[in-house]
Each structure stands twice: as C-alpha cells, then as structure tokens.
Amino acid sequence: MPMTAAHTARLLITCADRPGIVQAVSSFLYHHGANIISLDQYATEEQGGTYFMRVEFALDRLQEVRDVLTRSFGDTVAAQYQMSWQLTLVGDIKKVGILVSKYDHALLELLWRWSRGLLPCEITQVVSNHEDLRDAVERFGVPYHVVKVTKENKVEAEAEIHELMAGNDVLVLARYMQILSSEFVEKWSYRVINIHHSFLPAFVGADPYRQAYEKGVKLIGATAHYVTADLDQGPIIEQAVERVSHRYTVEDLRELGEDVERNVLTRAVRWHLEDRVIVHDNKTIVFD
C-alpha cells in the first residue's frame, strides 16, 4: 500500500437528484480538511432521476477522525438528501473468499495478480466442493477448505460455507459449479461476484460451448455479475468477447472462453474492491 492509501477514503452515494448535492458534499469535505482526489457522478435523467456519486479524498489522521467524520456526514449531508451511502477507507483492506470447483483458470488469475500486489485485498481462503485445486491454492499460502455439496446436504453445506466465509467482505465464484440458494445469496446481497460464459445468441442448457460450435457463432464472451436469486440474471459488472471462426473446435472455444473469463472476472473483482460499483434497479453504475 502506498503511503497515501493510509489516509485516503471513498464515499459512494445514491439519492434522488436535486440541485446542490455536489456543493453539499464538497463543502462538507472541504470544511473537514479533506482534499478531493477524484469525483465521478452520474444521474439517470437530466432532471428528477436518481443521482450517483463516487468521491475519493485524502485526509490527514484519517484513522483517528473516521468515526467523527462518518457520524457527521450521516447527520448532516446524508440526512438532508436522504442518501444511501457508504464511506470506506482504502487502508481497510477488504477480505475476499473464493469459491471454486475444478476449473483453475479464473482462480489462478486472481491468486497470481493478488500475489503481485495487483488486487488490493486479502484473499482469506478458498472453498471448493472438490480436492483437486488444493496444491495450486496452498502454494500461494492461502487456506483451502473442501465442503462437499450434494442434494441431500445442501442446507448444511451452505451453512458450513457461510460460517467459513464469515468475516469476508466479498465472495468470488471463480467457476463454482454449484447453485447457491436464494437464502444464501440474500445474506451476501451484492457481495457475491460470479463469472459465466456469454454468447450471441444465448444458449440455455448443458454444454454451451458445443451449442455455440453447432450454431457457428463468430464471437464468444464472458459476463461477470453480482449473484442474485435469479440465476445468472444479476446486475452485470463487466463483459468482453473475442472473435472465433468455424475453425475453432469445441475445445478451442472452451480454451479461449476461459481466457475471456479470467480477464473479465479480474476486472470485475478489482472494480468492486476499489468501490467503483453501485447497484441500482438491478443494474450497475461502474465508475471506472
């Protein structure tokens, strides 16, 4: 962490749009001695829509004044504009738990970037329903837990995962092939990030790469999204595609698809960790 991270914080705001919000927030920060590093805003309509803001600011002795600052902002600006908001310190490193099955491509990309200091988080543990990736994970010094999931033990298994993962700020499904129950998802609302393949058109059912091959698609892609009870329909954080041709075998499609998946998931996780994503009405505002 650079020196500066210790006294840098981020404010994420959602509220009804009306005049004076920038003025109110920036005055609050100015009068508390903060220096605005970056400020992004977006409104859904020119007038009368919903307003979103992300402010990154620096403030000396931030750790000491954080409680006062937080309470004060809540009592004044946030109250006045009826904001949904959160204040996070860059110095409070987020804890990330990863769920995985047998595919290692997305997992290893995350671990590798994290080990190089390119993902600002602590990866606390990896939970899988299989033993396969234990070595690959433990090599990075990250604990690996196996929780077998069957039809019969699903409730208990999820309870165990929930307990293991307690204390994490966000969960990443790096090709976790189990469907999480809506009860589980609700407990981790907008704090579970998933990656799945995407095609034009979309294919329902088993073996989508074979379907893509049979349909002769010219692009294959991946979508990272927050998990909601509505499977694979949660708010999209990031997407990308690559060109393919009729010469790609099913196996070639899968290999390229995995490359897209690891890149897309990495970007989505990073943006989440940097507090760049706000969810509103089941879609995302990404201040990248």
Task: Considering the complex, state which of residue 68 and residue 219 has its C-beta at the smaller distance from its own copies.
Answer: 219
Residue 197 dihedral angles phi and psi, to the nearest 5°: -70, 155
Q: Is 275 a catalytic residue?
A: no
- Contact, 81 vs 18, CB < 8 A? yes
Reported as type and span, the H/E element at residue 259 is helix 250-273
CB count in 10 Å sphere of residue 39: 16
> Shortest CA distance to 149 belongs to which of 191, 184, 125, 194?
184
Nearest to its own copies of 93, 240 (CB atom): 240
Judged by CB under 8 A, does residue 247 bind its own copies? yes
Q: Is 284 an interacting residue with respect to its own copies (CB under 8 A)?
A: yes
From 75, 207, 230, 232, the catalytic residue: 232
Closest CA to 243 of 216, 207, 267, 268: 216
Helix, strand, coil percentages for the chain (3-state, nearest 5): 35, 30, 35
Scan residues 226-245 and list those touching its own copies (CB under 8 A). Answer: 233, 235-241, 245
Q: How many CB atoms lie within 10 A of CB 205?
A: 6
Q: Does 76 bind its own copies (CB under 8 A)?
A: no
Block residue for tokens 């200091």: 117
What DSSP character marks residue 249? -
Q: Which of 1, 37, 146, 231 binds its own copies (CB under 8 A)?
A: 37
Q: Is 47 in the site for its own copies (CB under 8 A)?
A: yes
Q: Which of 1, 16, 30, 167 binds its own copies (CB under 8 A)?
A: 30
Burial of 130 (0-12, 13-18, 19+ CB in 10 A): middle
Is position 36 an interface residue for its own copies (rule: CB under 8 A)? yes
- The yes or no reply on residue 20 touching its own copies (CB under 8 A) is yes
**With respect to its own copies, which residue has the nearer C-beta, 27 or 189?**
27
Tell whether residue 49 is a contact of its own copies (CB under 8 A). Answer: no
Catalytic residues: 232
Q: Which spans of this chain sit near its own copies (rule: CB under 8 A)?
A: 4, 18-23, 26-27, 29-30, 33-43, 46-47, 58, 104, 108, 112, 116, 118, 139, 198-202, 214-219, 221, 223, 233, 235-241, 245-247, 255, 259, 263, 281-286, 288
